[in-house]
Structure 1
Amino acid sequence: MKNLLFILLISISFSSCAQKNAQNPYGLKVVNDFEAYQATIKSNPNNELVEIKKVIPSVVLDIRYATKNNFMKQVMYKQGKAFARKPVVEHLKKIQSILNKKGYGLKIFDAYRPYQITVAFWQKASDKNFVANPAKGSKHNRGCAVDLTIIDLKTGKDIPMPTPYDSFEAAAAPHYDKLPAKIKENRDLLISTMQLNGFKVIYNEWWHFDFNGWQNYDLMDIPFEKL
């Protein structure tokens, strides 16, 4: 009886997440209730949104959406933190180790992104090719995408890439070819390392990587301060 009641409560929580409103105008299944989120962790520990810095202390964070240094020109996150699903963070830890042996390390710009932020991006972005359509949701909303680059451990500086982060230029595409050889080498090092270790780069952003298996995770709208 207790198990039946528990299942009923969870189903009610999830069904309420699918109602259309200002935060969820498309009526998607979006987990926005913290207790419902915790229940998913009990059923599968991999659902946990883990703070990346706590698992990989050496990773560098540059959370642009916690500042005004982003294409929105406004602060979108209340905290400059990065979260991702547990398996995502485990793979990033492995990648960090691989890069460290070569004298490099990861710098993360963004990871898990609450769904309502994706809605805000879509409303304001001038080029919709560079933002996720909230009618489908983003892999970021699932805690299964990361935006990142590589730093040189000796200098602590970013290694040169084709464009700055969040650029809307054609050169941001991972297969753009009209670049100096060293820039392409740097970009391809990042992409190959990520893709050999559980991620796939998207077609128009060299910095954005989706975790293989993202389909297994729900869209989320839990703010950082609750995690």
Structure 2
Amino acid sequence: MKYSVVLLSLLLTISCNQRKNTDQNDTADVETKMVLDSASKDSMDKVAKPALKSFEGLADTTFVRLADFSEDFVYDMRYATENNFLKAQVYDCAECYTRVKTAKALIEANKDFMEKGVKIKFYDCYRPNSVQYKMWEIVPNPQYVANPDKGSIHNKGGAVDITLVDMEGNELDMGTDFDYFGKRAYHDNVDLPQKILDNRKLLKETMEAHGFWSIRTEWWHYNLSAASNDPVANFKWECND
């Protein structure tokens, strides 16, 4: 009987030690995982974002993706959705391309805007001529869509449709939504609240100071003067899933 008690006591001690070791190992595993997770997060935080590209060596007429040259813009590419006056998606994917000279002017204009606590938000940029034909098929009205046989400055990579947002991304009140076709969207309509007139003035005067000109009926549309004589293009960008 005495040996049985001793043996039982020994077995209980071994079992307790094994359980203790298991608990310690589990705790160590958890602590190790936490350390590794933390190190992994720190490592990810320290990984540099892809470097912005340089315009060096690029011809002014080269088409470029604007986001590759600046991180300071906001995008809402409406024609890559059905949220537009066409009620149809005509771009395969949302990208903002322009010619180099247009991109340079936009970046400089945006620097001025950011000093005032706002920045550019894009609705449309370069538009391949094939897309212009798609738009014309849906709305064959030159009052709203340029005839693709002639093309528009959007097809030349020199026009953009834009608004302004604050540094948190909230749109400034411009009086109408993008692609509102009515007198409320006209630049010469002064029968609007002063805040709206001030916002439009800021947009217009800053863009004009950087070589762009507007059209009377659309507060959002700006053409780069230096791109007026460029040829209509049908360059198409690749869509990455």
Same fold (TM over 0.5): yes
C-alpha distance in 1 between matches for 2:61 and 2:137: 29
**TM-score (normalised: structure 1):** 0.76
> C-alpha distance in 1, partners of 2:232/2:221?
18
- CA RMSD, Structure 1 to Structure 2 (Å): 1.9
Q: Which portions of structure 1, spanning 4 or more consecutive aligned residues, are displaced by more than 6 angstroms?
A: none
Residue 52 (structure 1) shift? 0.8
- Counterparts of 1:208-223 in structure 2, within 5 Å, are 208-223=221-236
2: distance between equivalents of 1:80 and 1:124?
20
* Residue 73 (structure 2) aligns with: 59
1:157 maps to amino acid? N
Gaps spanning 5+ residues in structure 2: where? 1-57
Scaled by the length of structure 2, what TM-score is found? Answer: 0.72
| Match of residue 133 from structure 1 | 147
- Structure 2 SS opposite 1:151: strand
Q: Over residues 208-227 of structure 1, what are the superposed CA-to-partner deviations in whole Å (9 max), with x where a residue is unaligned? A: 0010122331101122228x
CA–CA distance in 1 between the matches of 2:121 and 2:156?
20
Output the CA distance in 2 between the equivalents of 1:170 and 1:128.
17
Size of the aligned set, in residue pairs, is 184
Structure 1 residues 216 and 121: CA distance shift in structure 2, 3 A? same
Out of 194, 209, 220, the residue aligned to residue 181 of structure 1 is 194
Does structure 2 conserve the Cα–Cα contact (< 8 Å) formed by 1:127 and 1:168? Answer: no
Cα contact 1:53–1:82 (8 A) shared by 2:
yes
- 2:212 maps to 199
Cα distance in 2 for residues equivalent to 1:127 and 1:168: 12
Tell me which residue corresponds to 2:160.
Answer: 146
Aligned AA (1:48)? T
Q: Distance in 2 between matches of 1:109 and 1:218?
A: 22
Task: State the distance in 1 between where 2:156 and 2:237 align.
Answer: 14
In structure 1, list runs of 5 or more residues that go unmatched.
1-43
Deviation at 1:126, TM superposition (A): 7.0
Larger relative contact order (C-alpha < 8 A, sep ≥ 6)?
A: 1
1:50 aligned counterpart, secondary structure:
strand
- The 3-state SS of whatever aligns with 2:112 is helix
Paired with 2:111 and 2:238, the residues of 1 have a C-alpha distance of: 29
